[in-house]
Structure 1
Amino acid sequence: MYVLYIQTAALILESIFCSSRACSAFIPNHVDRFNVSSCFPSNRKVWRLRPAQLHRISDAAMDATKGKFDFSWILFLLAHTIYLLGVSVKPSPYRWLLFIPFGSICTYLTYYTSLRDPVGDYGMGAYLMTQFFTALDFLILTDVQKELKLVGQKDGVADKPLKTRLVWGLKLLGSPRGIGWTYAPTSILPTPSKPSTTRRQFIVSRLSELAANVLLYDLNGFVIRANPCMKVDGPSFWHTGNGWMWMWRAAGLSYTVAAWININVLHILYSLLSVGLGSTEPQEWTPLFGRLWDAHTVRRFWGRVWHQMMRRLLSKNVDLVSKTLGLPRRNRITEFFCLFLAFFISAVIHGAGDAMMLTNWRQGGSFLFFALQPFAIALEEMVMSLGRRMSISGNSTTVKMLGLLWAFLWFSNTLPIVIDIKARRGFFQAGPQGSVFLSLVRGEWTPK
């Protein structure tokens, strides 16, 4: 049997968890022995979520989606059926026509329907737009059955029976990073398990990693709950009333930590299930994220450390525009044009999540956050170019430590653009509440 749609499911949940109530799972309602008010003037209140506020969160979410139709799961399944058929049918000059109904359904569901849940809306909107751009590649730009092959695949799949082509198509759609395919960016992706790794060793290793992730997630929750700026009635991250706001902006990175762990845990669970059942081998499982030490530039964070599930769709669509405009290859201007265009597409994708959640993408901060990233990378390039002229090695430990500090300061001061609106919507107080840590230490699943 084949384990299919594993990484695609991770992509859906990545969009959800990056915005979501998952950040509050296994997290206490407040942090014991931590007085938030001590960091603010004494006349300021401590922000706590009250029942009346929960009602306002729900009312605000409903108001934001008034005038929209209910989300249709039938259309959702229909769209994915069309998509699967599109990559599974025999090569045809008319195959691109299948993109029209698929793209139309994705657009309609994103901009004209709602799940009546801001968390689900954001995740679904970003996911549907991701599939929209991926389909541009697989249904229009690439003759998939002639150009793409699985590792070890010798014969083409175009002349195989429909059942074989359907399984082949599921594998294609289920591997956004290209794992197991000849086009996978192996030089960028983390190193997979060694071929000598036994099934038992892999399972023990992944179970240990799972336990560490759950503990870290639980502890990270204390930071989220302690941050007044992440409360529905809390101050904005841009509040300048006192000198402590820089600390809360930095603590906003706990949002990214929660998203990172959620996606990674999902990947670990799938790998345990797949390898445990004998469907795949340990060496087929490449870690989803790179080493944090490699994030000593903003470029390397997005290009090596963060998951690479959007790499192909971004590069293929950027190449299309670049070739259409006739831009010269291996040109500095072309390189920066492609960089800015790639993040523009990413901004559109994540902005679609805001559009589904808030009815208008301009109300959210996702588009602006991703649109700003290439400016940081361009600045890095200028600084590193100057450093090379001064014979400063970019591989020295000192330079890398300074780079990590720079990346930390950049993200801690730009990530609130995304978080602020979500905090006001009550994202970090939504969902089930609880703490594994408290349950083990004090025997309390939820704090009193």
Structure 2
Amino acid sequence: MLDALSPSAEDYPLSAPPGWLQPLMSMICIYSIILPHGAIRLSAGGLVFGLFFYLQFWTADRGVNGYATGTGCASIVLRWLDLLVMHRPETEFWSVEEIKQDGSHVKVQAKVPFDRWAKLKWFGSLWIASRGVGWNIQSSQLPPPVAKDYPKDRWLFRTIVRTFSMYLGYDLTSNILLHIVREGPFLAHPIAWQVFYAWTKAFRAYYSFESSYFALAIMSVATGICQPHQWPPLTGSFGRDAYTVRRMWGRCWHQCMRRPSGEAGRVVKETFRLKDGTYLSRYSQICIGFLVSALSHHAGATVGCFEDGGAWQFTYFMLQPAGIMLEDLAIYIGKKCGLRPDGLTRRFGFLWTILWFSWTLRFMVAYQPNTWVTSYSAPSIIGYVMRRSIG
């Protein structure tokens, strides 16, 4: 009987996740804000978890869409738990606008609207702000946006150029992956091959995130829905900040998982009454944060039919706290020996970070379905040029 609740691909072909699933889950969460606070509002979670259960056990798709839907729906569940279960939005979250008053900049807190539909719009804005941009929960680690008076046409031009360059990067890495021969288990290949393949996939993911993010930014700013300062860069400066594993994750990557990861760590700290500033408090929160990220991505691996079920990807995320603790120990010993941060130590830091991810990124991509590479169907400028050259 229980087996019937969780069929597998071996039982019969499972259908791909329907396109309406993720938007429906988000709409249920957003509309639940107009329900009375308490048990009635939380009852909407039954629908959210029911749809997520259906996604995990009744759908499968070896394409990138299956993985994206799995991780996206997992993020929705985490956001619902954060905003609507662990907190009361009406009293704990507010939008913050900086205005000029008496010659100085003053931050103004916007109150929650009383009107039902205005409140729905208010919460919808909070819901889609996964990094908290413009809200009191905005991360201090985000790259700074352009100034409010930055010319709109100049921002659009620069962003269009950047988006096109990201597309070219995505196109190039996709074509490289198409021409890499992959036979047999990934980890049985020579280490140099594994590292090259892993970094190529990592850059492809980076270019994909960047181009998608700024394409949405361009549309919203061009249509007047948003202003340029509402779209801070998705990633930080790798050339300036990526000299430790901690800073790589905390300042350079997209920060979309910072809120659920941080809240989970906070709950564990408060539950076990861990004292602020202690090693146990600090590193337990880091471990819990990466565990949340690992579980979220594991949901994508389940729907996306990873060859190993997502085990090695899970290992990748849970290795990251070990890398942070290892470099913290090295920094501590270095300070005790009289070393001070300078250009040389940072160069060693960049080398360490590159070596760390050269080793661990292999586990992230080792058992991703090969269809992620072979099913590349976007218009390819580089592919066209190559075909013309060969022809």
- Aligned twin of 2:134: 180
- Please, which runs of 5 or more residues in structure 2 have no aligned partner? 1-7, 98-107
Tell me which moved more, 207-216 or 161-170. Answer: 207-216
- Aligned twin of 1:81: 27
1:145 partnered with 2:90: yes
- Aligned twin of 2:180: 227
Partners of 1:247 and 1:359 in 2: CA distance: 20
Over 3 Å counting, the alpha-carbon distance change for 1:430 and 1:73 in structure 2 is closer
* Kept after mapping to 1: 8 A contact 2:14/2:60: no
1:438 deviation in Å?
4.8
- Aligned twin of 1:267: 213
SS in 2 for 1:415: helix
1:110 deviation in Å?
3.2
Partners of 1:438 and 1:70 in 2: CA distance: 28
Map 1:151-166 → 2, pairs under 5 A: 151-152=96-97, 154=109, 156-157=111-112, 160-166=114-120
SS in 2 for 1:182: coil
* Kept after mapping to 2: 8 A contact 1:88/1:169: no
Partners of 2:276 and 2:353 in 1: CA distance: 29
1:223 deviation in Å?
3.5
1:300 deviation in Å?
0.8
Partners of 2:384 and 2:375 in 1: CA distance: 20
Over 3 Å counting, the alpha-carbon distance change for 1:156 and 1:298 in structure 2 is same
Partners of 1:226 and 1:65 in 2: CA distance: 34
Q: Deviations over 1:149-190 (max 9, x none)?
A: 011364532x521110111121111110001112201x3001
Q: 1:400 aligns with which of 346, 361, 371?
A: 346
Q: 1:216 aligns with which of 169, 174, 189?
A: 169
- Aligned twin of 2:235: 289
Over 3 Å counting, the alpha-carbon distance change for 1:283 and 1:417 in structure 2 is same
> TM-score when scaled to structure 1?
0.76
* Kept after mapping to 1: 8 A contact 2:61/2:305: no
Over 3 Å counting, the alpha-carbon distance change for 1:361 and 1:125 in structure 2 is farther
Partners of 2:178 and 2:18 in 1: CA distance: 34
Map 1:128-143 → 2, pairs under 5 A: 128-143=73-88
- Aligned twin of 1:428: 373
- Give the residue type in structure 1 aligned to 2:272: L
1:350 partnered with 2:302: no
SS in 2 for 1:290: coil
1:262 deviation in Å?
0.8
Partners of 1:99 and 1:428 in 2: CA distance: 36
SS in 2 for 1:372: helix
Over 3 Å counting, the alpha-carbon distance change for 1:384 and 1:181 in structure 2 is same
Q: Deviations over 1:278-329 (max 9, x none)?
A: 2222222100000112111111111110001111111112211221122222
Q: Count how many residue pairs are aligned between Structure 1 and Structure 2.
A: 373
Tell me which moved more, 76-85 or 165-174. Answer: 76-85
- Give the residue type in structure 1 aligned to 2:173: N
Q: 1:239 aligns with which of 181, 188, 202?
A: 188
* Kept after mapping to 1: 8 A contact 2:25/2:76: no
Partners of 2:308 and 2:188 in 1: CA distance: 23
Partners of 2:121 and 2:308 in 1: CA distance: 36
- Give the residue type in structure 2 aligned to 1:125: G
1:211 deviation in Å?
2.5
Over 3 Å counting, the alpha-carbon distance change for 1:419 and 1:443 in structure 2 is same
Partners of 2:285 and 2:90 in 1: CA distance: 27
Over 3 Å counting, the alpha-carbon distance change for 1:224 and 1:179 in structure 2 is same
- Aligned twin of 2:332: 385
- Aligned twin of 1:103: 49
Partners of 2:293 and 2:163 in 1: CA distance: 29
Q: Deviations over 1:355-392 (max 9, x none)?
A: 22238974542211111111111101100111111121
Tell me which moved more, 88-97 or 254-263. Answer: 88-97
Partners of 2:286 and 2:271 in 1: CA distance: 16
- Aligned twin of 1:53: none
* Kept after mapping to 1: 8 A contact 2:93/2:137: yes
Partners of 1:392 and 1:246 in 2: CA distance: 33
- Give the residue type in structure 1 aligned to 2:111: G
Partners of 2:166 and 2:312 in 1: CA distance: 28
SS in 2 for 1:156: coil
1:326 partnered with 2:280: no
Partners of 2:331 and 2:282 in 1: CA distance: 16
Partners of 1:410 and 1:80 in 2: CA distance: 36
Higher relative contact order (CA 8 A, sep 6+): 1
Q: 1:125 aligns with which of 70, 90, 105?
A: 70
1:190 partnered with 2:143: yes
- Give the residue type in structure 2 aligned to 1:135: W
CA-based RMSD of the aligned residues comes to 2.6
1:429 deviation in Å?
1.1
* Kept after mapping to 1: 8 A contact 2:260/2:292: no
1:251 deviation in Å?
4.0
1:248 deviation in Å?
4.0
- Aligned twin of 1:368: 315
- Give the residue type in structure 1 aligned to 2:29: Y
1:76 deviation in Å?
4.7
Q: Percent identity?
A: 22
Partners of 1:367 and 1:410 in 2: CA distance: 16
Over 3 Å counting, the alpha-carbon distance change for 1:398 and 1:235 in structure 2 is farther
- Please, which runs of 5 or more residues in structure 1 have no aligned partner? 1-61
Q: Deviations over 1:27-59 (max 9, x none)?
A: xxxxxxxxxxxxxxxxxxxxxxxxxxxxxxxxx
